[in-house]
């Protein structure tokens, strides 16, 4: 049933954080209906639907929003929804006649979730961009990577951490309020905002002088030798992260190093020499040998696994972190709920795969659906395949 059972959400199809948020909410029990374009758009990604995992767990209706009949059909769905999610550039929904004012006039309790990179307002609101650009402007990219230049991280930080997670939290929080007040509102989730919020503790460290404005010079950015990645004898890698004194002590003892190093743990002038010593030590054994030595000791250790290795690691297996859906091994929903578990509700659905069934479930009559299909306002799964 899921924790969000009974919640209805209309999602306007897109890429990145919007679909990821919709996937999470659907797997937590919400009934999410995705409205896709009748003609495929250039999203910069070409892959079979079954590989687009963020499209799983909700049906798809292919609807032409450029037509008055298509917009009216969308508004009819929105009237029945508790929330809406869209990820277009600011002003697009308004030009379609589906902006917040119109939607809230039809459904005053609607939560209108908006996902963008730069936000709905500000000088850059109309600018294009992607995860890397938002990280750059936020100042956070300047803190990531080796000393020579910033590294390009996976899109987890901006798209999904600063974007999808904040959109999901904002929508759920607004739903709570709407249930009490009967009034909806707009949730302006901007990746550049979420990214900076994720770095809240870093701003505190900067103000206190603890954070040095140079990469690989701080405790958790690769500067400290006791918080880093080390190559092993066989060319693989391990990680150590004993920030706490008691764990650092355990590491020093395990490596046969003197406990006199405890007092200089945070002395930056000592870090280069100690890193060199750690590098020499860790290159003396293979990753497997270090696993045998270090696992089970309180030193904050883990091997750097490949994705394939991680999927079969005993800890991940014990927690049931992966499932095979449609022949694709993929993560199951998180977090875990003790009473209302989340679930993957269906494999990724192609655009329009569920047009007829989904519209019927949302109150459209058979004749209405047939007319919309005949007029080309709605495209069914069979028509998409024929096209």
- The single residue listed with the structure tokens 């996902």 is 115
Alpha carbon 172 to chain centroid distance?
Answer: 16
Percent of the chain with pLDDT over 90: 94
HSE (side-chain half, CA atoms, 13 Å) at 113: 30
Taking 60 as the threshold, does the pLDDT of residue 386 lie above it? no
The reported pLDDT for the residue numbered 385 is 47
Note the pLDDT tens digit of each residue in 110-139. Answer: 999 999 999 999 999 999 999 999 999 999
Say what the alpha-carbon torsion angle 260, 266, 270, 271 is, to the nearest 10 degrees.
120
Note the pLDDT tens digit of each residue in 275-291. Answer: 999 999 999 999 999 99
Residues β-bridged to residue 113: 85, 187
Position with higher pLDDT, 46 vs 173: 173
Mean pLDDT of 237-258: 97
Mean pLDDT of 24-32: 98
Mean pLDDT of 306-320: 97
Question: What are the residue numbers of the active site?
Answer: 130, 159
The reported pLDDT for the residue numbered 1 is 84
Closest CA to 114 of 130, 97, 94: 94
Q: What is the 3-state secondary structure (H, E, C) of 147-181?
A: CCCCCCCCCHHHHHHHHHHHHHHHHHHHHHHHHHH
| Cα separations in angstroms, 320 against 57, 305, 333 | 18, 18, 10
Mean pLDDT score across all residues of the chain: 95
Cα 183 from Cα 1, distance rounded (Å)? 26
Mean pLDDT of 21-43: 90
Note the pLDDT tens digit of each residue in 179-238. Answer: 999 999 999 999 999 999 999 999 999 999 999 999 999 999 999 999 999 999 999 999
Domains and their CATH numbers in the chain: 8-198+324-386 (3.40.50.10540), 216-231+237-303 (3.30.1540.10)
Cα 304 from Cα 311, distance rounded (Å)? 13
The reported pLDDT for the residue numbered 45 is 54
The reported pLDDT for the residue numbered 39 is 79
Closest CA to 301 of 210, 193, 219, 228: 228
Distant-in-sequence contacts of 323-329, Cβ < 8 A, 24+ apart: 325/56, 326/50, 327/50, 328/50, 328/51, 328/53
E-strand ranges in 257-308 read 301-303
Note the pLDDT tens digit of each residue in 78-111. Answer: 999 999 999 999 999 999 999 999 999 999 999 9
Residues β-bridged to residue 114: 86, 188
Alpha-carbon Rg of the chain, whole angstroms? 25
The reported pLDDT for the residue numbered 301 is 98
């Amino acid at each position: 049933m899921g924790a969000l059972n009974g919640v209805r959400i209309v999602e306007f199809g897109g890429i990145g954080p919007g679909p990821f948020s919709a996937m999470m909410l659907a797997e937590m029990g919400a009934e999410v209906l995705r409205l896709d374009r009748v003609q495929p758009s250039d999203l910069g990604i070409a892959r079979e639907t079954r590989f687009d995992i963020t499209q799983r767990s909700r049906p798809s209706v292919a609807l032409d929003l450029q037509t008055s009949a298509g917009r009216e059909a969308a508004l009819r769905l929105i009237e029945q929804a508790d929330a809406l999610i869209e990820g277009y550039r600011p002003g697009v929904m308004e030009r379609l006649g589906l902006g917040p004012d119109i939607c809230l006039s039809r459904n005053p309790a609607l939560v209108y979730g908006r996902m963008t990179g730069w936000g709905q307002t500000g000088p850059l609101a109309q600018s294009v961009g992607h995860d890397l650009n938002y990280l750059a402007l936020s100042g956070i990219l300047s803190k990531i990577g080796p000393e020579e230049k910033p590294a390009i991280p996976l899109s987890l930080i901006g798209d999904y951490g600063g974007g999808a997670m904040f959109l999901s939290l904002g929508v759920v929080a607004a739903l709570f309020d709407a249930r009490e007040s009967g009034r909806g509102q707009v949730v302006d989730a901007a990746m550049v905002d979420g990214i900076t919020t994720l770095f809240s503790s870093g701003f505190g460290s900067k103000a206190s002088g603890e954070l040095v404005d140079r990469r690989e010079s701080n405790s958790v950015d690769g500067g400290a030798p006791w918080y880093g990645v080390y190559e092993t004898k066989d060319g693989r890698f391990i990680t150590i992260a004993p920030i706490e004194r008691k764990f650092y002590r355990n590491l020093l003892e395990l490596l046969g190093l003197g406990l006199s190093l405890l007092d200089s743990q945070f002395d930056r002038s000592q870090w280069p020499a100690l890193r060199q010593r750690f590098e020499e030590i860790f290159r003396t054994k293979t990753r497997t040998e270090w696993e045998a030595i270090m696992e089970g000791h309180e030193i904050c250790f883990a091997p750097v696994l490949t994705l394939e290795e991680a999927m079969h690691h005993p800890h991940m297996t014990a927690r049931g972190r992966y499932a095979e859906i449609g022949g694709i091994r993929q993560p199951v929903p998180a977090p875990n709920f003790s009473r209302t578990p989340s679930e993957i509700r269906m494999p990724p659905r192609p655009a329009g795969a569920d047009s007829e069934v989904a519209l019927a479930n949302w109150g459209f009559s058979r004749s209405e659906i047939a007319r919309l299909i005949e007029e080309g306002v709605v495209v069914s799964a069979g028509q998409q395949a024929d096209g």
